[in-house]
Amino acid sequence: VSRLPMKLTGHAGAKFPLQRSVKGVEAWISPNILYRRQGEFQQMNLGTYVSKGPLVGGVWYRGFFSSTTNDALIVLLGVETPLLRFGYSYDITISDLTPATGGAHEIHLGMKFACPQRSKFRTISCPTF
């Protein structure tokens, strides 16, 4: 029995406003990078999301910027409401697997649950005399 190598994952991203909120409508851009490694396997995803109001779009690259490690370009579109998120993405294969896979479709449906805000400090009531 062989042991599965440890998986390491690193993710970094930021969210920058593109304009001030006008009538409650925000616009922002969010660049991100995701790196994964397990044994000899390595993968890097590099991309960005752009949003205005409820609409979100994005473009990602998966691979390592060389002809032998290019894997896919990922295009995504979505809509976000206070309760739900819906998205569609398509992986455009740019590796030698293109004829075999033809790309991949993904549909996402998520629901946001309200979580009560916790106090930052635990307080202890002082007895009164």
Q: How far apart are CA 90 and CA 75, in angstroms?
A: 5
Residue 122 has pLDDT above 80, yes or no: no
Q: What is the pLDDT of residues 66-117, one digit of tens each?
A: 666 788 999 999 999 989 999 999 999 888 766 677 789 999 999 988 877 7
- Read off the pLDDT of residues 39-76 as tens digits, 9 standing for 90 and up: 988 889 999 999 999 999 999 999 886 666 788 999 99
Residue 1 has pLDDT above 80, yes or no: yes
For residue 2, what pLDDT is reported?
A: 86
CA distances from 66 to 21, 43, 83, 94, 110 (A): 40, 12, 41, 11, 35
